[in-house]
Amino acid sequence: MSSRCRPDLVLALCALFGPLLACGVELKPQKEQEPPPVEIDEDEDGKIKKTPVPAPKKGVVDLGTAEFPAKSKAKSTIAYTFSVPPSHRLGYKLGDAEKKAIETFYASYARSVQYKRIGPKTFQWSPPPNCPADMSCVYKKLVERTHDDVFVLAQRLKKRADDAKLNSSQLAQIALAYVQAIPYQIPDEPFGLLPPPLVVVNQRGDCDSKALLLYMLLNMNGIETVILSSKAHKHSMAGIAIPTEGTSFRWKGRKYAFAETTAKGAPLGFMPPELTSPNDWVVELSP
């Protein structure tokens, strides 16, 4: 099996919606006191910049900081500012022990299914009985394991929707913009997939990693979302069951809007024409 995320496609998308985001330097926490939140943004040249932000910028809707577990001993708070509009800011703290536990769980699962990398972008594995050869079983394992880690983020989005009396489409757009703000990079982890909480704290993720994060955030808020992929285009996207003026598809009698997570600023329903032919998109994961 090969990686399903195409860097060339992301470059093309970002040419339309903004410069391609990239990973930056490793954060170095202070030893004697908790470091201030780190805001992830990009400069005029498209380079990632990380700026300590002790308080939200003027005019930015502060969604607070989601934390798991409560009062966690995290090295730093990772915050992203994203425009919907208006601009929003959402922080996240994941305890160091919990982060290590997720990494250990994922490595153990990869060994249990005999995951083996056989090339820069290809791998092989032995799916368990009653498990399709696609990525659905891997997705389900990560969704189950990291539910509580991601739920605290979903709660912050729900509070914003409740406070501002947002509808499902507006909430979905906020969640999409948040995920799009995370820099794009194909992970070196098993299956070319990064567990959703680590996408946030490691400040990187590719198409399926970010699509899975969005899938969890929206389904936790009662907005039906699926993950679909294309072997021909080597790409994964999310599908959201909400009305859109853009491109949509039907699955099991319901209409879904395409959601591109790798291009900052791409609206709901955005679908590059080159990804429509051949049309081999299939739903791999549903609630």
pLDDT digits (tens, 9 = 90+) for 47-105: 666 666 555 567 899 999 999 999 877 778 999 999 998 999 999 999 999 999 999 99
DSSP state at residue 145: H
Amino acid, res. 210: K
In a domain, 83, yes or no: no
In a domain, 75, yes or no: no
CA–CA–CA angle 261, 188, 129 (5° rounding) = 85
CA-CA distances (angstroms) from residue 93 to 64, 66, 142, 217, 261?
11, 6, 19, 16, 22
In a domain, 62, yes or no: no
Domain count, the chain: 1
Cα pseudo-dihedral 49, 170, 212, 188, rounded to 10:
-10
CATH number for position 111: 3.10.620.30
Note the pLDDT of residue 21: 32
pTM for this structure? 0.85
In a domain, 224, yes or no: yes
Range of the domain at 162: 7-30+95-285
In a domain, 185, yes or no: yes
Neighbours of 105 (CB within 10 A): 15
First to last CA, the chain: 24
Tokens of 186: 């194909």
Residues 6+ apart with CB under 8 A from 28: none
Pairwise CA distance, residues 107 & 5, whole Å:
21
Residues 6+ apart with CB under 8 A from 96: 72, 73, 74, 75
In a domain, 78, yes or no: no
Instruction: Quick: pLDDT tens for 233-267.
Output: 999 999 999 999 999 999 999 999 999 999 999 99
In a domain, 63, yes or no: no
In a domain, 41, yes or no: no
